[in-house]
Amino acid sequence: MQNPNIQYRFEYAIEQGEEDSLDNGECWHNLFRNPILVKGFPVLRRPKPQIDTGLELPLNMMAALAKTQRIDEFNGGVFIKGFSTMLIPTNFIEGVIIWHLQYRADGDHISYFDACVPHASINTSDIEQSRNIVGWCSQADLFAGANEAKYNVQRSGLPRPTADCVLHNISISAGKYITGGVNFAMGVKDQPIHLTRGSYTPKLEWIHKKFVVLWDERYKRGWLVNGTTALLHLSRAALKRKQESPFRSLLLFKPGSMEEATERL
């Protein structure tokens, strides 16, 4: 009995993409001369919504594209480095390592000291047991204090400070107003120069030069922002809570009256 001949016919269409500068998370394009994306190709589910950029590659393929066969350690950090190409781990989230591709466009030698991105704390065993994605976001929008930010802030749930903590047994109170005594009025000519700046603006100028960390205990991540941004974020969070309280009808603040910034940092 003869086997029947089976013929297959494959058709595909190639669309030319726009030639522009690479967006965030697209540094992996420089691993290839002419990268081609296949629409609808199935990929593994990412563990977190924020890991939605980049290209997932097996470790050996990633090293081959960088023209190397080794994982190097230098100055306490782990690198996958070729002659003119270097892969730097920037984040390690739930078994996924996010890498950033850095290279010399002229093909010259690249140095470990040329690394210009934050380096995640990982070891070689982490690399061998984890998924690897090339594509790191180097820019971000600041949503602290913005209308789009989430203001449902809850208690952190952190334990109380232990005995060896610097802030152990330290309390902060609002203080007590000074009352009583003879009534008097302060004359303008009687006030020294260093006490005349009583407006709100100098205080904002002072905290604008200070920095605080807003910490997310659930995801173990933080944002370093200046004092005025932190104050705006906390103020809007407090107003949001008042708007959802049973006494919201007594709130004089109207959300529509707030003028939003035209540009985001």
Q: Digits of tens for pLDDT over the chain (265 positions)?
A: 566 677 777 776 666 545 544 455 556 666 666 666 667 777 777 776 556 677 888 888 888 888 888 888 888 888 888 888 888 888 888 888 888 888 777 778 888 887 777 778 888 888 888 888 887 665 566 778 777 777 777 777 777 778 777 777 777 776 666 666 667 676 666 666 555 556 778 888 888 888 888 887 776 667 788 888 889 888 888 888 888 888 878 888 777 777 777 766 5
Q: What's the first-to-final CA gap in the chain, in angstroms?
A: 74
Which residues fall within 8 angstroms of residue 151, CB to CB, at 6 or more apart?
233, 236, 237, 240, 241
Res 156: pLDDT: 72
CA angle 11, 13, 15 (to 5 degrees): 170
Q: Does the pTM exceed 0.85? A: no
- Cβ atoms of 68 and 110 within 8 Å: the answer is no
Res 201: pLDDT: 82
Strand partners, 97: 92, 132
Annotated domain spans of the chain? 27-134, 141-158+203-249
- Cβ atoms of 151 and 240 within 8 Å: the answer is yes
Res 12: pLDDT: 65
Give the C-alpha separation, 85 to 83, whole Å: 6
DSSP H/E element including 241: helix 227-243
Res 24: pLDDT: 52
Which residues fall within 8 angstroms of residue 14, CB to CB, at 6 or more apart?
36
Token pair of 193 as six digits: 């120069």
Res 157: pLDDT: 75
Res 140: pLDDT: 61
- The residue among 58, 181, 192, 74 whose CA lies nearest residue 127 is 58
DSSP-derived pairing of the beta strands 85-93 and 77-81: antiparallel
Residue 116's alpha-carbon distances to 54, 59, 63, 177, in angstroms, are 18, 22, 20, 52
Order the strands of the 77-81 sheet from edge to edge.
55-57, 131-134, 96-103, 85-93, 77-81, 72-74
> Which of 37-40's residues contact partners 24+ apart within 8 Å by CB, and which partners?
none
Res 26: pLDDT: 58
Res 131: pLDDT: 85
Res 83: pLDDT: 86
Res 49: pLDDT: 59
